[in-house]
Amino acid sequence: MNVRGPILSVGEARTVSTSHGDRELRELRVRPERGAADPVDVTLWGKWAETAEHAEPGMELLITDAEADEFGGETGYATTGDSWVVLEPDFLVDVTGIRSWVQCPRMYYLNKLSGIPLNYPVVKGTIVHEVFGDLLRGMELEASVADRVEEAGLELGLLGYEPEEVADEVRRNAAAIEGWLAQGTLSDEDTWRSEFTLISPTFGLKGRADALRRGTPVELKTGKNTKREPRFHDKIQAACYALMLDERGVDPDIGTLLYTKNTALDRNEESGDLAPAKEFSVGRGLLEFVVRERNALAAMEWRALNEPGERPTVPTGYEADAKCEYCFEQDTCMVVSGRLDQESKAESVGTPVPDAERDYFDRFYVALEEERRETHAEYRKLWEQTPEERAADDRALIDLEPVSQTEIDDARWELRARKPDDAVSKLREGDVALASDGDPVSGHGELGRITGLCGDEVVVETDEPVELRRLDVYPSEISVDRSLTALHDAILKGSDARKDVLFGRREPEFRDAADRPAGVPGSDDPDAPDAYIGNNDAQNEAVELAVDAEDCALIHGPPGTGKTYTIARTIRALVEEGNRVLLSAFTNRAVDNALEALRDQGFEDVLRVGTQTGVRGDMQDVRLVQRGDPNAKAAELRDAPVVAATTAACGSRVLRECEFDVALVDEASQLTEPGTHAAINRADRFVLVGDHEQLPPVVRAENDLRTSLFERLIEAYPDASVMLDRQYRMSQRIQAFASAEFYDGALRPATPEVAGQTLRDLGVDPADLPDGLAGGVDFVDPDGTRDGNRNVREAERVAEVVDAYLAAGVDPDDVGVIAPFRAQVAEIGRRTPVTVDTVDRFQGSSKEVIVVSLVATGDLDGPIFEDHRRMNVALTRARKQLTLVGDADALVSEPFYERMLDWARR
């Protein structure tokens, strides 16, 4: 049986003599059934007693195959020969993390901070891995090498490599793979597959194996190894995959390491075993060792968050017996310990950063690790929720009917399936998702990209074929990983001038207008134009503030106030003064909108960095295609005066290599502080544009990540900010409530036309509409009942309201419906031809007519009500008519909504 629950206390290590000789043991007291049952004693025998050394009260413990023992009338449990003991099984450790942890725990920690840099071994390693996959999928060697080297054009160019020399080296490495594949090691019964995603609920592990051969793991290493045996930490990596396969009942007895550089070595100069493939046997002892090391790692991570000490616990390097002088991370290690005043086995260099910076680093390090745990909780839902629960949670499309599996050009697969009519989910075209045969954890699952999601059809591209019966949201830690790196870069590598402002040691500074160069608006030059933007003082002031900023400028733009227009003008002004600008935003949509505005203003010299599916169709012509000639590609990126990318992409290894004079970040109020650093680290100065009265950062954990840097700075430095106060979107009647509630009444319509717009301007005669739908703002109470996340009666009423507008002559494209839950979105979507979506998806867009479905009855519960800022977004999307559909009794239960109701019914 399995025993699982929180640890209450940990006993001392003891040695007892048994019929098998002296044995170590350690007793712990735990509350089984995840804390629901009465406390019991559990005994960890033998080597598992080592795991108890890391255990602390509060941690979760799992013992599989435990046996019950009676002692003094009490039932306890003990490990058996088949038991696994797992600490904090909910913490999912990545296999590559275990590998570096075994080498040196501090290296594991440093890898988190410094990310994967752009260097030649990394890029070459990626190419060789890609070629390996291609060869396994039956592609021809030369074609694969040429294709993969070309694909890496940009990265190779940034590193100054020529394609021929790289192709040669990759070819030599690939020879090892080809030779091995051809060597007769393979027979007809050999079953092969490349890249296999594994997640282990029992062992708290996840990772992607390079390949499986007859069910046993194969790992590719692009280095050399002239010993007979694989390197120990390489074995550990393969053993992790073996352990996860074991959990699926495969029981692999060997693992293989393929050292591809061995074939490239000169036999006259090198001695030893030059065979690239090295097998080793995977015994129980090795697997137990892997689990114990994983436990030590998980315990360290637990202590970093849970120990009430001043600073998070991080490894020092003394835990391992690795030699620092051979370590690639030695320099980083010394700098990090010097700057953060950490104990470390390597010497430290440099002086510690001031206390405030260290505290900031620690606070956000912990906050990001908390966020990581929330991400792990998302993974857990893959096995803890039933398929139906996951579908109801919008996290999966289930009951798909496989239609076809087609091999496409570069040995990849296109899977098609039919989905039930009413199925909805968070999944969108372009997302990476987990395609499976119905069971993504213990069945057959493949990571793939959604290339089509339209009507009743789903199309996914994967490396290997799978019967597409279910498609799941696949959580990603990449945002946490990149944020940690951004935090490291900002605090440990950032300039003191920048940090003086971030840490309140100095006010942001601005150039005097008198110092503006000739020709620039506001300069002494009599021939210079009067203003950047002649018809809107606040916008003009915003551009001036941005071009004069020596540190930073903050542009606060309530809904419809011309943020995008001002951003475009600002970028032009910055480029005119000779600056190179990084344009960034939280979403691809905002990046593309800003680019569109820039191009509308006649500025075309832009480069869009992003994936093909992420970038909008009309911006593909300025998208940087990474494939191609290295020199040309690198020049394209280095010479562009304006580079545009999401903040997530700013943390990529390519953009981390780039420098800019100014970073301009839109939607900055939706970014966490580390998320903002990812963009502004790349530039000397920065301009943040946002509205902290609209949606806050999207995070799962409740901590400091919820407040944006934009919000913090605008409160600290009001003089470094401008609020755009005239809006070009809403009628006077619509904007009144938001202006009063969120902007101290300062928001005004930009022109009388904006203020006075009505449905009549769309050619609609109000007499053609039922009573109470043409007042500019109206409220309808359908007397519905909330059922879970939907309200069917209300959905029907919303559809009737929409029909009434359409019947009166409003174009379907001019009407939008906002609902708080995806279930209600689907409920309404079935009944009407117009766009229906959640608030979050509507931020940044607008419609002539908006109908909001509030769903709640009884009490006010749900994401739209949790945060008034969400309601601000919902109420400020409409231009001419806003119709709220909801339950008046529920709304009057809170003063804010009562005021909203009064306004809507006025």
Footprint on this chain of ligand ATP (rule: CB under 6 A): 533, 535-536, 539, 557, 559-565, 728, 844
Say how far apart CA 240 and CA 549 lie, in whole Å.
52
- Phi then psi for residue 730, to 5 deg, are -95, 150
Residue 260: DSSP 8-state: G
Q: What angle do CA 748, 749, 750 make, to 5 degrees?
A: 110
Helix spans in 618-665 (H): 630-639, 647-650
DSSP state for residue 310 in the 8-state scheme: S
Q: Tell me the residue number closest to ligand ATP, measured at CB.
A: 562
The nearest distance, CB 552 to ligand ATP, in angstroms, is: 20
* Residue whose tokens read 């069917």: 792
Length of the chain equals: 906
Least CB distance to ligand ATP at residue 751 (A): 8
Q: How far is the CB of 536 from ligand ATP (least distance, A)?
A: 4
* Comparison of 51 and 561: residue with beta carbon closer to ligand ATP: 561
Count Cα atoms within 13 angstroms, Cβ side, for 836.
23
Which amino acid type is present at position 224? Answer: K
Which residue, among 431, 463, 442, 356, has the nearest Cα to 132 in the 3D structure?
463
Give just the sign of the alpha carbon dihedral 415, 416, 422, 427.
positive
Minimum CB distance to ligand ATP smaller for 194 or for 561: 561
Smallest distance from ligand ATP to CB 587, Å: 11
Beta strand 847-853 pairing with 581-585? unpaired
Closest CB to ligand ATP among residues 45, 728:
728
Cβ distance to ligand ATP smaller for residue 502 or 695? 695
Q: How far is CA 686 from CA 658, 664, 671, 724, in A?
A: 15, 6, 14, 18
Q: Is residue 528 classed as helix, strand or coil in its secondary structure?
A: coil
Nearest to 254 by CA among 282, 229, 212: 282
Taking the least distance from each CB to ligand ATP, the nearer of 445 and 557 is 557
Shortest gap between Cβ of 590 and ligand ATP (angstroms)?
8
In the bound state with ligand ATP, the residue whose beta carbon lies nearer, of 342 and 593, is 593
The helix/strand/coil state of 183 is: coil
* 35: its two tokens: 């804390």
Q: What is the smallest separation between the CB atom of 755 and ligand ATP, expressed in angstroms?
A: 14
Question: Minimum CB separation from ligand ATP for residue 510, in Å?
Answer: 22
Smallest gap from Cβ 878 to ligand ATP, in A, equals 12
Contacts of 682 (CB under 8 A, 6+ apart): 582, 650, 655, 656, 658, 659, 660, 663
Q: Which residues contact 28 (CB under 8 A, 6 or more apart)?
A: 7, 8, 9, 10, 11, 41, 42, 44, 52, 55, 61
Shortest distance in whole angstroms from residue 111 CB to ligand ATP = 38
89 vs 557 by CB, closer to ligand ATP: 557
Give the residue with the Cβ less far from ligand ATP, 436 or 539: 539
Q: How far is the CB of 571 from ligand ATP (least distance, A)?
A: 13
- The residue (of 222 and 876) whose beta carbon lies closer to ligand ATP is 876
Type of residue at 149: V
Looking at beta carbons only, is 173 or 676 nearer to ligand ATP? Answer: 676
Of 643 and 873, CB closest to ligand ATP: 873
- State the minimum distance, in angstroms, from the CB of residue 334 to ligand ATP: 46
- Are 123 and 152 spatial neighbours (Cβ–Cβ below 8 Å)? yes
CA 519 – CA 754 distance, rounded (Å): 33
